[in-house]
Amino acid sequence: FSLTIYAKPALDCKTHTIVCHVAVLHHNSALLVKYAEMIDHQRGWFLPNDDLRHVEHPEAGAKRILKEQVGIENSTTKLLDIESFIGDNKTWHLIFDYLAFPTNMNVTKGKGVEEAKWFEIDRLPSAEEFAHNGWGRAVLLKHAKVLA
């Protein structure tokens, strides 16, 4: 079994939004990013994320996101959750939530990433400092409880 990373564009669909979020954890720390610009104009901290590309497997998408956005190539990934909801843009969202466990804490900001920073789980920024009303913070705290 191997994962192929496709060099294809994101799915261009006005009805569906298929996204992969990656909660990057190293011991008791989580990696958060701030993007220079987001399509939905949200500001604040995010879990690394991106739309999946056409026919891209979600796990390949998680690994691509890690490599392109924060320069992480060596990590173990695990699908933790799949979410489904109608988003603010009225499209049906299908979100694949992955955990990633990199071998070290070295990061390199990729294109479009304004800031990438490790935070201890018990010292995460406040919900108000996260995009989407603190959604990423809630996900991290939920995942941290599962791992504890």
pTM above 0.75, yes or no: yes
Three-state secondary structure string covering 69-129: HHCCCCEEEEEEEEEEEECCCCCEEEEEEEEEEECCCCCCCCCCEEEEEEEEHHHCCCHHH
pLDDT tens, N- to C-terminus, the chain (148 residues): 444 444 445 556 667 788 999 999 999 999 999 999 876 788 999 999 999 998 899 999 999 999 999 999 999 999 999 989 887 778 888 999 999 999 999 999 999 999 999 999 999 999 999 998 998 999 898 877 656 5
Please name the helix (run of DSSP H) or strand (run of DSSP E) that holds residue 31, with its range, or none.
strand 29-35
